[in-house]
Amino acid sequence: MNLVLVDDIIARYRWEKAAIIAILQDIQREFNYLPQEALTYAASRLAIPLTQVYSLATFYRAFSLKPRGKHLITVCLGTACHVRGAVRILEKLERELGIKAGETTDDMRVSLETVNCLGACALGPIVVIDGQYHGQMTSVKTDSILKKLRKL
């Protein structure tokens, strides 16, 4: 693992302990998750107890301690999407992919996550695939999206 990257990130925040959350966010952006080695290293460089770093990494939803898949599917479960049937879309995706929300397929191809409101409630229910919004989702549309995703 290239820990120099971690050093660069910490230096960007001038070794400030208070910036630990931003530092973790940047580490996650670099590695796509929070690798144990990077956390241990960051904790020692900043002289913060490792337990504290882990408590932050497990408290905030934005962090993942496990590697995430190549593709990211996010289902909006905001209230507006909920009343338009978002749960059924999520359940369908869980069934088809064989994983639960928050998990990644064994072949590391797809991670499934949920979010609370994307600010595009007019299009609800919404599913985002690798940053692309798919609005007014139905079970049939979910099938066709998954089909496309399998070909990628």
Q: What does the binding site for ligand FES look like in residue numbers (CB under 6 A)?
A: 76, 78-81, 117-121, 124, 126
Q: How far is 13 from 48, CA to CA, in rounded Å?
A: 15
The answer to whether residue 107 forms part of the interface with another protein (CB under 8 A) is no
User: Among 6, 75, 118, 127, which residue interacts with another protein (rule: CB under 8 A)?
Assistant: 118
The answer to whether residue 124 forms part of the interface with another protein (CB under 8 A) is yes
Nearest to 68 by CA among 114, 98, 31: 31
Look at residue 129 and give the partner it binds from another protein, ligand FES, none, a contact being a CB closer than 5 to 8 Å depending on partner kind: none
* Residues 64, 104 contacting (CB under 8 angstroms): no
Which residues neighbour 104 within 8 Å (Cβ) at sequence distance 6 or greater?
Answer: 66, 67, 68, 69, 110, 111, 112
**CB of 111 vs another protein, minimal distance in Å:** 15
Region of 4-12, 31-39, 114-122, 144-152 interacting with another protein (CB under 8 A)? 114-122
The answer to whether residue 18 forms part of the interface with another protein (CB under 8 A) is yes
